[in-house]
C-alpha cells in the first residue's frame, strides 16, 4: 500500500511539473529542467566536443552544412511566428559544424548546437538529403526532446528509489529492481525515445519543405540508410529509434501534409537536389 501511495504521489507531482507545451503538437511535455539551466550546460559541452574533435572548415561541404542549417532555422522561425509563437527561439544559439569522423550520424544538443559527421555525407548524397537530416535534428531542439528525456530519466530514477524505500523484504526488493530495470526501459523509456524520433521526423519534414526542400526525398534518404545498415538492427521494441521500414512508411505518409504547410508560405516548387 505504501508503494502504491508513493507511485500516486509521484504521478501527482508529474502532473504539476509537466507544464511546458510543444508548439508543434500543442501537447504538454515534461519539463523538470528549465532551458535556462539546460542550454548553458549544453553549449559548454558542445564547445568541449568541438575542441576535442577535428572540425572541418572552409570546404564546400562544411559551408553547405551551415547554409542548409541556416535555411532550416529560418523556416522554423517563419513557422513559429506564423503560428503565434513569436520569441520562441530567443534563447537558441544555432551552430552547425561538420566533424571529420566516419560514423554515420548527426546530432543536435538542446538550444540548437548541431554536428554532422563526414560519414553521413555519402548517404545523404545531396543537399536535399542534408536538409532532411538537418530538419530532423533541428526538430529535436525545437521540441525540447533533450529536456524531456532528462525529465523522464528523473522520473525513472525517482520511482526506482521509491520502490526500494517502500519494499522492505530484501528478496522482493531484488526482484523489483531486476523487473523494474527491464520493464521501465522496454515499456517506458524506449517507446518514449521512439516517439521523439517519429515526432522529429514529422516536424523535420515541415521545416525542410518550408525551407524549399522537397519532403519526398526524406523517405528516399531513409531507403539509403536502410541499405547502408545491411539489415543489422535490433527489433523495434528494443530500439531507441523506429525501424527503417516504419520511418520510410511514415515519411511517405507525412510528405503531402508538409507540402501543404509549405504552400501556406508561398512554397510551391522545391530546390534542385544539389548533388555534391
Span 213-250, pLDDT tens digits: 999 999 999 999 899 887 665 443 334 556 889 889 99
What is the reported pLDDT for 190?
A: 42
Rounded to whole angstroms, the Cα distance separating 111 from 145 reads 11
What is the reported pLDDT for 243?
A: 80
- Which phi-psi region, left, alpha or beta, contains residue 6 (left: φ > 0; alpha: ψ -120 to 50)? alpha
What is the reported pLDDT for 198?
A: 84
Rounded to whole angstroms, the Cα distance separating 162 from 177 reads 11
Buried/exposed code over 233-255 (b: 16+ C-beta within 10 A; e: otherwise): eeeeeeeebbbbebbbebbeebb
Rounded to whole angstroms, the Cα distance separating 35 from 149 reads 13
Please say if the pLDDT value at position 210 is more than 90.
Answer: yes
Rounded to whole angstroms, the Cα distance separating 85 from 226 reads 36
pTM: 0.76
Q: What is the mean pLDDT of residues 41-61?
A: 95
Rounded to whole angstroms, the Cα distance separating 201 from 139 reads 8
Q: How confident is the model at residue 194 (pLDDT cuts 50, 70, 90)?
A: low
Closest CA to 140 of 69, 215, 90, 200: 200
For residues 205 and 255, the answer to whether their CB atoms sit within 8 Å is yes
Q: What is the mean pLDDT of residues 6-28?
A: 59
Residues taking part in catalysis: 137
Rounded to whole angstroms, the Cα distance separating 14 from 12 reads 5
Amino acid at each position: 500500500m505504501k508503494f502504491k501511495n508513493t507511485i500516486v504521489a509521484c504521478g501527482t507531482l508529474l502532473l504539476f511539473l509537466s507544464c511546458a507545451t510543444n508548439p508543434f503538437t500543442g501537447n504538454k511535455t515534461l519539463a523538470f529542467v528549465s532551458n535556462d539551466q539546460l542550454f548553458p550546460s549544453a553549449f559548454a559541452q558542445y564547445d568541449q566536443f568541438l575542441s576535442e574533435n577535428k572540425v572541418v572548415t572552409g570546404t564546400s561541404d562544411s559551408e553547405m552544412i551551415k547554409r542548409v542549417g541556416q535555411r532550416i532555422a529560418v523556416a522554423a522561425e517563419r513557422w513559429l511566428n506564423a503560428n503565434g509563437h513569436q520569441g520562441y527561439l530567443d534563447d537558441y544559439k544555432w551552430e552547425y559544424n561538420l566533424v571529420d569522423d566516419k560514423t554515420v550520424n548527426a546530432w543536435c544538443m538542446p538550444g540548437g548546437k548541431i554536428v554532422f559527421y563526414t560519414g553521413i555525407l555519402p548517404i545523404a548524397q545531396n543537399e536535399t538529403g542534408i536538409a532532411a537530416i538537418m530538419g530532423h535534428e533541428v526538430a529535436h531542439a525545437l521540441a525540447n526532446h533533450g529536456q524531456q528525456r532528462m525529465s523522464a530519466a528523473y522520473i525513472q530514477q525517482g520511482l526506482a528509489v521509491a520502490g526500494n524505500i517502500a519494499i522492505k523484504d530484501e528478496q522482493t526488493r531484488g526482484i523489483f529492481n531486476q523487473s523494474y530495470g527491464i520493464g521501465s526501459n522496454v515499456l517506458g523509456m524506449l517507446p518514449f525515445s521512439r516517439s521523439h524520433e517519429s515526432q522529429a521526423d514529422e516536424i523535420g519534414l515541415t521545416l525542410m519543405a518550408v525551407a524549399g526542400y522537397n519532403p519526398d526525398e526524406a523517405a528516399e534518404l531513409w531507403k539509403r540508410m536502410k541499405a547502408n545498415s545491411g539489415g543489422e538492427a535490433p527489433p523495434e521494441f528494443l530500439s531507441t529509434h523506429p525501424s527503417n521500414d516504419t520511418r520510410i512508411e511514415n515519411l511517405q505518409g507525412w510528405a503531402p501534409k508538409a507540402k501543404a504547410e509549405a504552400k501556406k508560405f508561398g512554397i510551391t516548387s522545391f530546390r534542385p537536389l544539389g548533388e555534391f
